[in-house]
């Protein structure tokens, strides 16, 4: 199951973990907006933001190595984009190519680490409750809650189906053919649709009216 | 995440072994573009949710939640392209063909939110832009192309061809929208160059997306053709029969996509690229003194990517070839569909 690497940090009990999800959500949004609004080459500002982040990472107890690993995982595509954008960036003439490209990279890294700290200290369910309390429409939040519930179920289902298909059509080649994989997705859709109908019937039988209630409410 | 064997069901971007990112990360768009797209995206999402809720009532949550999870799981299935490179479904058009445009855009939004918050694929500040590109333009715009085409070509064959053509154009339109957003971030000099490159790369991605979408739609057509009926499917899709606005939107969308391919020609004339670049922002200020004659034939102010000089020609070629390939593929796949008289039999077999 593709659970993210941060999952096991989420149940820890640092002060950041205990903070209200709404506060963390707003703080993360403010941080990301502040970071992307910083001008190119403002290294001191980046440094200041980095210090704030380092402090937050320190409190959260997420191992810095873990964060570095995830940052590196997304580094290559972002670096490619930065290299593509830097040559024609308005600030390029004044500051040079390398400064512009590394500014984009640095700000992206800061925003990314903010999101990692947010995700690493807040279970997704709490994040969604926080969104709901901040005024995100109930339908959307409930949809996301449902999706989070069934995401794992369906990923496991597609893995089982692929294993079964491999067992039945054994070949030396590692990968399945496109039409088999397309059929796999089609089958997954039909099964998902039928599952949704069953789940919905069961929920109606239990008095579903459209809102998810949890013990925290 | 499981240690996958080679049958390629992988984690999303950011996880080890996951695909590379497709979504716009933070700090690539300027704050103005980020805020503008967030407002547009937020408004579009609210509208879609309202439309959907009116249609489905309390059924919305269950159906949208499971279908979002379906698209998320479908994106894990990696299609081998060649030499270790693999691609996966994006799913915007597939979702709106199966569920209607409003549901399609809500599904895309849910997938993007989960990818952003849990897997850090796509920036928080770029969430709006990603939704505009893939949800509003990809899913709803794709449906605007799909619906009239489908009506023009009746029967399951028409459904399949329309879905594949819409998938191909929606990928192109989304990439064009990204180029516009970059230009709005104050990098106007980039516009034509980025547009050309985006169109070139995405004409390949679009063929893959069209092919996967077609394979899935064909499977559903064979097993449960009733789910793809215009009315009486899972969601009542807007059946406003032959509404002229649909034709206008579809025509506009297709001509915009074609314009994306022709745009690089605007700068294909000798030094045209450099001229546009200087004029629009490669230089510090466009209102600055007229550009001094460049000292060397290879000025270093622009990243030299291989084949850049032929970008215009290559992009236009990619557009023509890609369109033909998608038409050919969809035609070929439609031939394998059962004729209408067999449909009853297929239904009984399910």
Give the chain B residue whose CA is nearest to the CA of A202.
B62
What are φ and ψ of residue B79, in 5° steps? Answer: -95, 120
Q: Rounded distance, CA A185 to CA B88, Å?
A: 11
Gap between the terminal Cα atoms of chain A: 29
pLDDT at residue A54, rounded to an integer: 92
Task: With beta carbons less than 8 A apart as the criterion, state whether B28 and A80 touch.
Answer: no
- B304 pLDDT band (50/70/90 cuts)? very low
Cβ distance of A151 and B72 shorter than 8 Å: yes
Q: Which residue has the higher pLDDT, A5 or B313?
A: B313
Give the chain A residue whose CA is nearest to the CA of B28.
A104
User: What residues of chain B, 244 to 263, have a C-beta less than 8 Å from chain A?
Assistant: none
Nearest Cα of chain A lies from the Cα of B285 at a distance, in angstroms, of 7
- B330 pLDDT band (50/70/90 cuts)? confident
pLDDT at residue B227, rounded to an integer: 85
Nearest Cα of chain B lies from the Cα of A55 at a distance, in angstroms, of 21
Q: Rounded distance, CA B26 to CA A24, Å?
A: 18
pLDDT at residue B65, rounded to an integer: 92
Give me the residue spans of the domains in chain A: 7-129, 137-205
Tell me the chain A residues in contact with residue B287 when contact means C-beta distances shorter than 8 Å: none
Cβ distance of A174 and B66 shorter than 8 Å: no
Which parts of chain B fold into alpha helices (H)? Answer: 31-56, 59-74, 92-99, 101-119, 127-131, 142-152, 155-184, 191-223, 244-262, 272-280, 311-335, 343-349
- B189 pLDDT band (50/70/90 cuts)? low
Q: Rounded distance, CA B132 to CA B308, Å?
A: 29
Nearest Cα of chain B lies from the Cα of A143 at a distance, in angstroms, of 4
Query: Which of A70, A140, A166 minimises the CB distance to B7?
Result: A166
* DSSP result, B213-256: HHHHHHHHHHH-GGGGSSSSSSS-----TT-HHHHHHHHHHHHH
Least confident range from A101-105, A171-175, B109-113, B247-251: namely A171-175
When the pLDDT of each residue in chain B is averaged and rounded to a whole number, the result is 73
Cβ distance of B125 and A33 shorter than 8 Å: yes
pLDDT at residue B84, rounded to an integer: 67
Nearest Cα of chain B lies from the Cα of A107 at a distance, in angstroms, of 6
* DSSP result, A112-157: HHHHHHHHHHS-HHHHHHHHHHTT--HHHHHHHHHHHHHHHHHHHH
Query: Which of B10, B77, B281 minimises the CB distance to A88?
Result: B281
**pLDDT in 10s for each residue of chain A, 217 residues:** 345 556 667 777 788 888 888 999 999 999 999 998 888 888 899 999 999 999 999 888 888 888 888 888 888 888 888 887 777 777 777 777 888 888 889 999 999 999 999 988 888 888 999 999 998 888 899 899 999 989 999 999 998 998 888 888 777 666 678 888 888 999 999 999 999 999 999 998 988 887 777 666 5
Tell me the chain B residues in contact with residue A94 when contact means C-beta distances shorter than 8 Å: 284
Give me the residue spans of the domains in chain B: 31-286+307-340
Burial class (CB in 10 A: 0-12, 13-18, 19+), B79: buried
The SS3 call for residue A36 is helix
Query: Which of A5, A158, A199 minimises the CB distance to B62?
Result: A199
Tell me the chain B residues in contact with residue A155 when contact means C-beta distances shorter than 8 Å: 9, 72-73, 76
Residues 6 or more apart whose CB falls under 8 angstroms from that of B310 comprise none
Taking CA B195 as the corner, what is the angle to CA B111 and CA B12, rounded to the nearest 5 degrees? 25
> Average of pLDDT values for B138-162?
87
Nearest Cα of chain A lies from the Cα of B11 at a distance, in angstroms, of 5
Cβ distance of B7 and A83 shorter than 8 Å: no
- B120 pLDDT band (50/70/90 cuts)? confident
Give the chain B residue whose CA is nearest to the CA of A103.
B27
pLDDT in tens, B4-27: 333 334 444 333 334 444 688 888
Cβ distance of A88 and B89 shorter than 8 Å: no
In the predicted structure, residue B233 carries a pLDDT above the cut 80 = no
Cβ distance of A147 and B79 shorter than 8 Å: no
Output DSSP code: residue B82.
E
Closest residue by Cα to residue B25 from B118, B180, B129? B129
Cβ distance of A151 and B120 shorter than 8 Å: no
User: What residue has token string 């096991």?
Assistant: A8
Cβ distance of B220 and A2 shorter than 8 Å: no
In the predicted structure, residue B197 carries a pLDDT above the cut 50 = yes
Task: With beta carbons less than 8 A apart as the criterion, state whether B29 and B125 touch.
Answer: yes
Q: Rounded distance, CA B309 to CA A204, Å?
A: 62
- Which residues on adjacent β-strands are paired with residue B86? B80
The SS3 call for residue B7 is coil
Closest residue by Cα to residue B71 from B173, B212, B174? B212
Task: With beta carbons less than 8 A apart as the criterion, state whether B135 and B38 touch.
Answer: no
pLDDT at residue B18, rounded to an integer: 41
Please state which CATH number belongs to domain B31-286+307-340.
Answer: 1.10.1760.20
Other residues' Cβ atoms within 10 Å of the Cβ of residue A161: 18
Q: Rounded distance, CA B231 to CA B241, Å?
A: 11
Q: Rounded distance, CA B326 to CA B314, Å?
A: 18
Tell me the chain B residues in contact with residue A144 when contact means C-beta distances shorter than 8 Å: 65, 68, 110, 113-114
Closest residue by Cα to residue B200 from A79, A177, A75, A84? A84
Tell me the chain B residues in contact with residue A145 when contact means C-beta distances shorter than 8 Å: 65
- Complex ipTM: 0.91
Tell me the chain B residues in contact with residue A24 when contact means C-beta distances shorter than 8 Å: none
pLDDT at residue B150, rounded to an integer: 86
Cβ distance of B28 and A81 shorter than 8 Å: yes
Burial class (CB in 10 A: 0-12, 13-18, 19+), B85: exposed
Task: With beta carbons less than 8 A apart as the criterion, state whether B278 and B291 touch.
Answer: yes
Q: Which of A140, A164, A205 to mutate to test the interface with B (most CBs of B within 10 A)?
A: A140
């Amino acid at each position: 199951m593709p659970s993210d690497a941060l999952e096991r940090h989420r149940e820890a009990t640092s002060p950041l973990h205990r903070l209200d999800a709404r506060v963390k959500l707003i703080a993360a949004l403010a941080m990301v907006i502040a970071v992307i609004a910083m001008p190119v080459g403002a290294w001191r500002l980046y440094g200041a933001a980095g210090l704030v982040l380092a402090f937050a990472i320190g409190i959260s107890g997420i191992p810095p190595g873990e964060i570095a690993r995830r940052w590196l995982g997304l580094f290559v595509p972002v670096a490619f984009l930065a290299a593509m954008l830097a040559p024609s960036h308005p600030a390029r003439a004044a500051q040079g190519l390398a400064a512009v490209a590394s500014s984009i990279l640095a700000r992206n890294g800061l925003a990314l680490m903010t999101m990692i700290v947010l995700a690493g200290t807040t279970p997704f369910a709490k994040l969604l409750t926080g969104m709901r309390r901040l005024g995100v429409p109930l339908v959307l939040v409930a949809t996301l809650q449902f999706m989070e519930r069934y995401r794992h179920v369906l990923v496991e289902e597609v893995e089982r189906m692929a294993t079964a298909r491999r067992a039945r059509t054994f070949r030396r080649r590692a990968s399945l053919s496109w039409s088999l994989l397309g059929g796999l997705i089609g089958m997954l859709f039909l099964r998902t649709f039928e599952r949704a109908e069953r789940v919905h019937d069961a929920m109606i039988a239990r008095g579903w009216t459209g809102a998810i209630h949890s013990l925290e409410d | 995440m499981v240690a996958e064997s080679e049958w390629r069901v992988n984690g999303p971007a950011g996880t080890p072994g996951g695909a590379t990112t497709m979504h716009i990360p933070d700090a690539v768009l300027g704050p103005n573009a980020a805020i503008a797209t967030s407002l547009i995206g937020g408004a579009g999402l609210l509208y879609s949710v309202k439309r959907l809720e009116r249609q489905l009532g309390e059924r919305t949550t269950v159906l949208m939640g499971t279908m979002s999870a379906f698209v998320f799981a479908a994106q894990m299935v990696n299609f081998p392209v060649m030499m270790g490179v693999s691609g996966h479904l994006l799913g915007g058009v597939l979702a709106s063909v199966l569920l209607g445009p409003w549901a399609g855009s809500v599904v895309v939004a849910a997938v993007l939110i989960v990818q952003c918050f849990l897997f850090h694929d796509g920036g928080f500040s770029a969430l709006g832009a990603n939704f505009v590109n893939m949800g509003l333009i990809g899913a709803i715009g794709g449906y605007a192309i799909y619906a009239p085409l489908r009506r023009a070509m009746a029967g399951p064959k028409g459904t399949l061809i329309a879905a594949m053509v819409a998938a191909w154009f929606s990928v192109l339109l989304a990439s064009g929208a990204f180029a516009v957003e970059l230009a709005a971030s104050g990098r106007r000099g980039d516009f034509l160059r980025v547009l050309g490159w985006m169109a070139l790369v995405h004409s390949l991605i679009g063929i893959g997306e069209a092919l996967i979408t077609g394979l899935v739609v064909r499977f559903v057509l064979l097993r449960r053709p009733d789910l793809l009926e215009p009315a009486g499917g899972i969601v009542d899709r807007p059946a406003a029969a032959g509404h002229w606005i649909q034709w206008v939107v579809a025509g506009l969308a297709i001509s915009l996509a074609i314009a994306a391919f022709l745009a690089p020609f605007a700068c294909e004339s000798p030094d045209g690229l450099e001229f546009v670049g200087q004029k629009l922002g490669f230089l510090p200020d466009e209102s600055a003194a007229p550009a001094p004659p460049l000292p060397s034939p290879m000025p270093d102010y622009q990243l030299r990517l291989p084949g850049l000089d032929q970008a215009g020609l290559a992009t236009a070629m990619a557009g023509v070839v890609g369109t033909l390939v998608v038409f050919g593929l969809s035609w070929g796949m439609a031939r394998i569909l059962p004729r209408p008289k067999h449909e009853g039999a297929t239904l009984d077999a399910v």
